[in-house]
Amino acid sequence: MSEPSRNDALEALAASRWRVAAALTVATLVAYFGFILLVAFNKPLMGQQLVPGLSVGIVLGAVVIVTAWALTGIYMLWANGKYDRALSQLRR
Amino acid sequence: MNPSSTTGSQLGQPNTTAIFFFLLFVGVTLAITYWAARKTKTTSEFFAAGGGVSALQNGFALAGDYMSAASFLGIAGLVALSGFDGLIYSVGWLVGWPVVTFLIAEPLRNLGKYTFADVVAYRLQQTPVRLSAALGTLTVVSFYLIAQMVGAGNLIHLLFGLSYEVAVVIVGGVMILYVLFGGMIATTWVQIVKAVLLLAGASALAGAVLYRFGFSPVALFDEASRQYGAQVLAPGTLVSNPVETVSLGLALMFGTAGLPHILMRFYTVPDAKAARSSVFYATGLIGYFYLVTFILGFGAAVLVGRQAITGMDKGGNMAAPMLAEVVGGTGFLGFISAVAFATILAVVAGLTLSGAAALSHDLWSSVVRKGQAPEHEQLKVARLASLFLGVLAVVLGVVFKGQNVAFMVGLAFAIAASANFPALLLSMAWQRFTTNGAVASMLTGSVSAVLLIFLSPTVQIDLLKNTTALFPLKNPGIITMPLAFFVGIAVSLLFPEKESSERFAEVKHRMHVGAGKPAVAPVAQVPSVSPGAAPRPTATKA
pLDDT of residue B12: 72
pLDDT of residue B125: 92
Q: Is residue B534 part of a domain?
A: no
Q: With cut-offs at 50, 70 and 90, classify the pLDDT of residue A92.
A: low
Q: Which residues is A49 bridged to in the sheet? A: A55
pLDDT of residue B142: 92
Whether B476 and B453 have beta carbons less than 8 Å apart is answered as yes
pLDDT of residue B527: 41
Question: pLDDT (tens digit, 9 = 90+) per residue, B37-75?
Answer: 998 889 999 999 989 899 999 999 999 999 988 788 888
Q: How far apart are CA B426 and CA B432, in angstroms?
A: 9
To the nearest whole percent, how much of chain B has pLDDT over 70? Answer: 93
Q: How far apart are CA A4 and CA B175, in angstroms?
A: 52
E-assigned strand segments in chain A: 49-51, 54-55
Tell me if A53 and B223 make a contact (CB, 8 A cut-off).
Answer: yes
Say which of A64, A72, A87 has its CB closest to residue B283: A72
Q: Is residue B1 part of a domain?
A: no
Q: With cut-offs at 50, 70 and 90, classify the pLDDT of residue B535.
A: very low
Q: Collapse the DSSP code of A51 into the 3-class scheme (helix H, G, I; strand E, B; otherwise coil) and give the result.
A: strand
Q: With cut-offs at 50, 70 and 90, classify the pLDDT of residue B534.
A: very low
Q: With cut-offs at 50, 70 and 90, classify the pLDDT of residue A2.
A: low
Q: Which of residues 18-57 of A touch B (CB under 8 A)?
A: 18, 20-22, 24-25, 28-29, 31-33, 35-37, 39-41, 43-44, 46-47, 49, 51-55, 57
Q: Which residues is A54 bridged to in the sheet? A: A51
> How high is the mean pLDDT of chain A?
89
Q: How far apart are CA B32 and CA B488, in angstroms?
A: 43
What's the mean pLDDT in B401-427?
Answer: 88
Chain B interface, best mutation among A72, A74, A77, A90, by max B CB count within 10 A: A72
Question: pLDDT (tens digit, 9 = 90+) per residue, A17-75?
Answer: 889 999 999 999 999 999 998 988 888 899 999 999 999 999 999 999 999 999 999 99
pLDDT of residue B536: 38
Whether B404 and B455 have beta carbons less than 8 Å apart is answered as no
Tell me if A32 and B91 make a contact (CB, 8 A cut-off).
Answer: yes
Q: Is residue B214 part of a domain?
A: yes
| CATH number of the domain encompassing residue B470 | 1.20.1730.10
CA distances B274 to A36, A80, B53, B74, B428, Å, are 32, 9, 9, 31, 20
pLDDT of residue B348: 93
| Chain B residues with beta carbon closer than 8 angstroms to that of A52 | 218, 222, 225
Whether B429 and B175 have beta carbons less than 8 Å apart is answered as no
What's the mean pLDDT in B401-413?
Answer: 81
Q: How far apart are CA B505 and CA A11, in angstroms?
A: 10
Q: How far apart are CA B479 and CA B250, in angstroms?
A: 10
Q: Is residue B178 part of a domain?
A: yes
Q: Collapse the DSSP code of B289 into the 3-class scheme (helix H, G, I; strand E, B; otherwise coil) and give the result.
A: helix
pLDDT of residue B479: 95
Element housing B532 (H / E): none
Whether B414 and B248 have beta carbons less than 8 Å apart is answered as no
Question: pLDDT (tens digit, 9 = 90+) per residue, B334-390?
Answer: 888 888 888 888 999 999 999 999 999 999 989 998 888 888 999 999 999 999 999
Q: Is residue B258 part of a domain?
A: yes
Give the residue from chain A lying closest to B227, CA to CA: A53
Contacts of B345 (CB under 8 A, 6+ apart): B25, B26, B29, B171, B174, B175, B178, B190, B194
- How many other CB atoms are found less than 10 A from the CB of residue B27? 10
Closest CA to B52 of B262, B265, B268: B268
Q: Name the residue type at position B488.
A: G
B453 against B516, higher pLDDT: B453
> How high is the mean pLDDT of chain B?
87
Q: How far apart are CA A63 and CA A55, in angstroms?
A: 12
Q: Collapse the DSSP code of A55 into the 3-class scheme (helix H, G, I; strand E, B; otherwise coil) and give the result.
A: strand
- How many other CB atoms are found less than 10 A from the CB of residue A3? 7
**What's the total number of domains in chain B?**
1
Which residue range(s) make up the domain with B209? 16-368+376-513
Chain A interface, best mutation among B223, B241, B276, by max A CB count within 10 A: B276
CA distances B44 to B357, B367, B519, Å, are 11, 18, 8
Chain B interface, best mutation among A32, A51, A91, by max B CB count within 10 A: A32
Burial class, B230, CB count within 10 angstroms (exposed 0-12 / middle 13-18 / buried 19+): middle
Question: pLDDT (tens digit, 9 = 90+) per residue, A63-85?
Answer: 999 999 999 999 999 999 898 88
Q: Considering only A52-61, B151-160, B380-389, B393-402, which range has the smallest mean pLDDT?
A: B151-160
Q: Is the ipTM of this complex over 0.90?
A: yes
What pTM was computed for the model?
A: 0.90
What's the mean pLDDT in B108-112?
Answer: 90
- DSSP codes, B398-423: HHTTT---HHHHHHHHHHIIIIIHHH
Cα angle vertex A54, ends A51, A58, to 5°?
A: 150
Q: Is residue B518 part of a domain?
A: no
